[in-house]
Each structure stands twice: as C-alpha cells, then as structure tokens.
Chains A and B, each alone.
Chain A
C-alpha cells in the first residue's frame, strides 16, 4: 500500500476534501444562478462576492477594518456550531441551539440595557439563560424520553416570543426605531473589552470575543478527547446501550450535555450583541444563527477547529452579498449561495462514502471475519 493511498484514506483528510468539494459545488451552483438572473454580469457579480472586502486593497486600514467586521460576525456562528457539535458527539441533535441563542440575546441585552450591569455579568446571564433552555430540553429527553429535536423546536419558539416580549418593552427597545438601544450610548461598561482593535483599523467591535471563541473551541477539543467526561459523552453518542452496560449515568449525561450546549449557544449571543455591532429588533422567526450553526458544524467535519474555518468561510460569503451590484442583482443572492452550500453540507458524508468506494475492497479482508460473524449473529436471532 503506497503512502499516498493511505493518506487519502485517513478520515480527517477525507472530511476536509469532502467539505471543500461541498464549498466549491455551492459556489458553482451560485454562479449558475447568477448566470440565470443576469448572464452578462454574472462573472462580475461572482467576482464581487469572492473578492469581498479585498476590494479595499488600496488601503490596508480599511481592508483590516472590514476583515475585522467579518471576524466579529463569524463569532456567534462559530460558537453556535461548537454548541451543536458538542451535543452531536454525545448523540444529541441540539436543534434547540437557535432558541438557546435567542434567550442568550434576551439575557445579555436585558441585563446590559435595562439593568445596567457590567459586561461579564451580562455574559454570565446569557450563558445561564442558554443553559436553562438546554436543561429543559435535556430534562424532557432524559426523564420522559421526549425527542430533543421536538423539545428543542418548541423551546425555540417559546424563546423567541419571550425575547420579543421582554426586549420589546420600553426599557430596552427604542420605540421609535423598533430596535434595542445602543449599548454604547446607554451602558458602555456592558460592552466587551476591545482586543487588537487598533490593528484592525480601529474597529471598535473587535473585542475579546474573538480570542475567547478560539479558546472555547480548544476547550471543547480537550474536553471531548482528553477528559473522562468527554469519553463518557462520546461513548453514549456512539453506543447508548454499551454506555448503559458500562454503568454510565445516561440521565445525567443527557441533561448535562444539553446544558453545556445551551450554555455555549447563549454565550454565542452575548459574544455578538455585547460588541454593540447590531441591535435586536422584534422578529417573527427564530434567529437563523443556531440553524446555520448546524451547517457550519457539518461543513467543519464536526471538529471544533474545523468549525472555526467553516464558520469564517460561510460568514465571508454572506458578507460578500453586500458587494454585489444592486443594479443587476438582489444582494440576497449571497444568502441563497450560502443556503446552497449549507444544503450541500448534508452531502459531506455522501462524498466521503464516495471516496471510500473502490478503496473498501482492500479493507474487506480485514472486516470479513467480523462481517460474517455479524451475519451469523443476525441469523441466530432469526431462527
């Protein structure tokens, strides 16, 4: 067996290749859509999206400023995907991350604007709110065996309307603009401390959220791979029955996993809204951050570090939509492209399987015995 073949058989390498194929395919399909919408300007439009903020390449300050903004906006997306992949490793599909993120917005904005607290208290409140939301889903899952997806979706809507009600009040929302007050003007001490802001063209939204996101990803990596807690969670995710056999406490682990996942999602909200870059306005649908996080998690190969790369890429494309010439294109085309890539993310596994086809032959010899063994087991059960 030559070295090259074994390199491509490595599952991590395959995941990366599959993810890149998905991303490229998404861009390609996006280009086809641009072609259909306006054939003569399609290439130009595609160029604008891909070139993105690099069109400011004459001035490194401006360039860095916009790069900074992309990073800031990628933070909540990455953290949401970390929340989702963490739960996913334990065999739980935390679609409720969207709702946990939403109550995270609620907690961080209410504590900062209405209560005038310091940033770190607001962050803790957001974590607690998300964790509570996760706890509720986890509790129902562990105790009453309610599917966490169903419970999560319910909690998403409950979280959204609760947030609309609380943040829609006079204390938090400017009734004339229908947006929450700017933290900078109402309670500057609730803003996250800035970080390398000067380096990124005095972008005041560059805060400690950025390094913290990286730290969170590393912590998750360590927890999953180096701790007994992660060992238990992954065992449960891979084989619930074996985890039970080994005496692991499934009830506790399910609840704890969703509490942590929810906490991270809530944290994601605080890491975005406490920069002051955006204000919340009443919404009739659950913020998409938690849902897009699912796609980012898969595009990132369900790896904490992969999620950072995937999150940056998706955010880059989303931002690219703003550079489209609105005379020819609707800027939402970029969202459409992102949606297509997200859709294709579902195919990461498909591409991996495709890559393994033809290579499995060599592996079958190793597996032969266990396969026939399995067959016999199955046969035993039939008779």
Chain B
C-alpha cells in the first residue's frame, strides 16, 4: 500500500488541444506534507496540467487519485470539495471588496440569509496568526500591496480547509523581500501537513524550498528528482533538453556600423509596481543578429514596446542610426528604419478583417506609391501585394483580396514577415517570428532573417525558443526580471548555461553604456 504516501496522484494524463498535445502521458505524484516543484519552460504544459487537477480542463486520458481513491474532477467546485486550492498567477480577487470579504467570498457563513461575518473574522484572524500571514481584514484589495494580496489568496485556501495548495508562479510579481517571506510561509504550511505544488521556472527557488521536483518539457514528462540530490545545472539541462533539431546554414556575421543603441532604458510594468524593463543597455550593429533570450514575461515584450514606440519609456535613450528616437512617434519610427515583426500577429500584426493586400500596406498606405490625393491606388496595392506574396510564398484562397482571418497561421505570419522585410529598414525587430508555425515555415523564415542580415540589416531577435536562439543569433543577451543578466556567444555557450541565466541562477555584472 505504498500509494497511501501520496495525497494526489495524476497518472498518465493526456490533454490535447486542436493541433497540439499539451500533456502527453504525464504522471505526477504529490506526497503528503511535501513541497513539490513543477519545472518547465514556456509551453511545457505545466499550467495545463494544473488546470486539469483544478477541474478547468477534462483530460482525454489518465486518472487522478486523491488519497489513493480515484476521483473525477469536473469543475473547480469538485476540486474545492476535495480540498484542492490554487493561487493563480493573476490573483482572483475583487478589488473593491475588503480582505475579509474576499476570503469568505463563495463560502460565506450565513444565518437565515444574513451574513455572519463575526465568526468568519475570528477564524480568519486565527489562521492569519497561526501561519504568520499578516493581513488587514478591513483593507480593500485595491489599497494593499501585491504581497499582501497573495497572502489573501493563501488565506482563502486555508479558510476552505484545503490540504493541497497549488501555487502558479507565485513569485513572478513579488519583490525579493516578499519572495523570502513567501518561501518561509510555504515551508511552515508544509510543516503543518499541507501538501504544496509549486509551479516555477526559477531554479534558485526550487533549491530553496522544494523537496522534490518534476520536470516537463514540450508536453512530456521528463522525470522527478529529489531536489537535495541534484544541482541547478542538472535541473536546467532537464528543463531545456539537449536536442538541437534545426540548423540554419549561415556564415559568420560581419558586423559593421552601429544601428541601434539602447541606453539605460526603463519601461514601467502594467501589472505591478516594478519596472518591467530596468536599466537595459545594448547595441545592435548592421549585419548581425542579436537575440534577446529569456523566459516569457521577463520584460522582453516591454523592451520591444519601448524601442518600437508601442510603450512609453520612463527613462533612458534609444538611438537609431545616430538619431535619438526616444520621443518620436510610432509612424516616425516606422518610416525611419524600423521594421517590426510583432509578438502577437493577431493583436498587432494584422487587421484580420482586412484583405491580404490591405494588410500588406498597413504602414505604407499613405506613401505616394499607394496614395494619390487621399485616394487609395487600388491597382498598385494589388500589384504590390501579388509581388510580395509571390516572393515570400504567401498562400491564400483568393489571392490579394482574401480576408486574412481565413488564412492559416503560417501564411499570416509569412505575410507579416514579407511586409516587414520589404519595407525600407535599417533595423528589423523580430519577436517570436516562428511562434506556432510548422517546421517548413520556420525554416523559411529563419533563412529569410539570415538573408536580411547578410544584406546589411541590423536584426534584433526576441525568442523564447532556445533552439531558435542558438541557431540564429550571432550574439545572445539574456533577460531576467527586466534586466540583461548576461551576454553569451552562441558558438561557445551551452543550453545549460543559457538555462542558468534565464532562471536567474547566474548573472554577469556587465557594463555597457
């Protein structure tokens, strides 16, 4: 009866989404009273697995056992009944309610339809004292710090007598002091007999609090290790894997003039009170591909936003080809040498309800090639679109007049790449240029980017895919929590080293002005 050691067992879980297997035969066993870390890169399937456990998704295959008994969790209420609680990455709190109201929300104590808050308050204060979770029960959520909001989320789980606590990347929004405090709280909870699942990709934190660690990679289960018996290096290599599949044929870069200089750039975060980009400085020269590597959410989006003008810069300077463009409009940057393949093609890159030809001139419709006295030169636009589509092999059902929404993701992306590469530019910023594409399209876009470099463009590549980073770039800058923590040469570095930088386990004190 060894199974009784486990409070939760997820056995051979398989969860598919159209076109992708998010979880492929994943087994996760959580012991009573342990802190179990779940480690993996973006898209490894961590959140999907936890959503299965929390009843948000129903798996296609596999079983879940609680205390050795098979259970069926169809919705979050079932999970709550089984004593499973979750602190989501983005807190689920009502801003204008008080702390106490938020804690009891959904489990309000009442008599004859009237709230009996006095009892609830007593209980919350007891819990707060017992676990050293300092909160002010009468403060409104909108007035308290993120750290305190998180304590409210934890109290919510404790108030419901949950014994399995899931923390989904709990430290992403916290300051270092708050992180220390959270680590302490987690240890205390585990000592009290609570079992904790801790989703993260920060190796330092795993080493600090976790007893065991399960690793997922690209939807597959890689293994479970005892944290005490392993090193950060080993964890890192388990997380990123070894396989380098696609090699792009390219010669050594011959960098020439400096095209982009970023000096001490700061961009405020929209989610919390910290800088999303903090004091970032780097240069990109013509004829080289500089890649910003890092785990999603470490400030890459905001950095690109700052350079392209989509986000406001709070401090620092952006110099393009000798000209300070920090305060220039997006249109100015577009027409003075920046091409931008955006991270989210549906949000920024395309007007989905416009035709292909209309999307091909999205930043150029006002130029005299396509516009005469305020009227669109329809014939010229059509011809231009056809030429681009031909050259970049953009396939669509009805040619230039196809509504882009009906095109496949790969062809939508190729259309953007075609548009951005054909525009006059000195700097090409490509963010996740191959996200969600098949191998053929990836190869095509990679070749096109290398070609651009050889034709003298400066290229800033932002990618979460390590294969892409290693294959394509001439220099790699690693971003972690809004800062550039290291610069490595793709020819001499290893995935392990990159992994250490990306998870904050290693950092250089580099100076570049």
Contact = CB atoms under 8 A, between A and B. Distances in A.
B408 A383 contact: no
Given A227-B375, A228-B375, A383-B48, A372 B352 contact: no
Contacts of B45: 383
Interface size on A, as a range, is 35 or more
Interface in A369-383: 369-377, 379-380, 382-383
Given A238-B351, A245-B349, A231 B376 contact: yes
A246 B19 CA distance: 31
A232 B48 CA distance: 39
Contacts of A375: 17-20
Nearest to B297: A381
A371 B409 CA distance: 8
A239 interface: yes
B29 interface: no
A358 interface: no
Contacts of A244: 310, 330, 348
Interface stretch (B4-12, B265-273, B313-321, B338-346): B338-346
Interface of B: 17-20, 22, 40, 42-48, 51, 296, 308, 310, 329-335, 340, 342, 344, 346-354, 358, 362-363, 365-366, 371, 374-376, 378, 397, 405-410, 412, 435-436
Contacts of B408: 366, 369-370, 373
A366 B43 contact: no
A185 B159 CA distance: 80
Interface of A: 226-229, 231-232, 234-235, 238-239, 241-249, 363, 366-377, 379-380, 382-383
Contacts of A367: 406
B374 A242 contact: no
Contacts of A249: 329, 331
Contact of A238 (B18, B333, B347, B354): B354
Contacts of B333: 247
A245 B42 CA distance: 26
A238 B353 contact: yes
A249 B348 CA distance: 15
A373 B352 contact: no
Given A229-B374, A368-B19, A383-B47, 9 more contacts: A239-B351, A244-B348, A245-B342, A245-B349, A371-B19, A379-B48, A380-B436, A383-B44, A383-B296
A383 B42 contact: yes
Contacts of B350: 239, 242
B436 A247 contact: no
A219 to B, nearest CB: 13
A373 B362 CA distance: 23
A371 B329 CA distance: 34
A383 B374 CA distance: 46
Nearest to B363: A246
A57 B42 CA distance: 75
8 contacts: A227-B376, A244-B330, A366-B397, A367-B406, A368-B19, A371-B18, A375-B19, A377-B344
Contacts of B412: 370
A228 B18 contact: no
B431 to A, nearest CB: 12
- Which one of A242, A246, A374, A383 has the highest number of Cβ atoms from chain B below 10 Å of its Cβ? A383
B55 to A, nearest CB: 15
B161 to A, nearest CB: 28
Contacts of B374: 227-229
A235 B362 contact: yes
Contact of A247 (B22, B330, B344, B409): B330
Given A228-B366, A373-B409, A242 B349 contact: yes
A377 B330 CA distance: 26
A381 to B, nearest CB: 8
A367 B403 CA distance: 12
Nearest to A223: B374
A372 B16 CA distance: 11
Contacts of A372: 17-20, 409
Given A242-B349, A242-B362, A372-B20, A247 B334 contact: yes
A373 B413 CA distance: 11
Contacts of A248: 331
Nearest to B406: A366
A379 B436 CA distance: 10
Contacts of B405: 370
A312 to B, nearest CB: 29
A214 to B, nearest CB: 21
A286 B33 CA distance: 67
A34 B353 CA distance: 43
- Which one of A244, A368, A372, A376 has the highest number of Cβ atoms from chain B below 10 Å of its Cβ? A376
B407 A231 contact: no
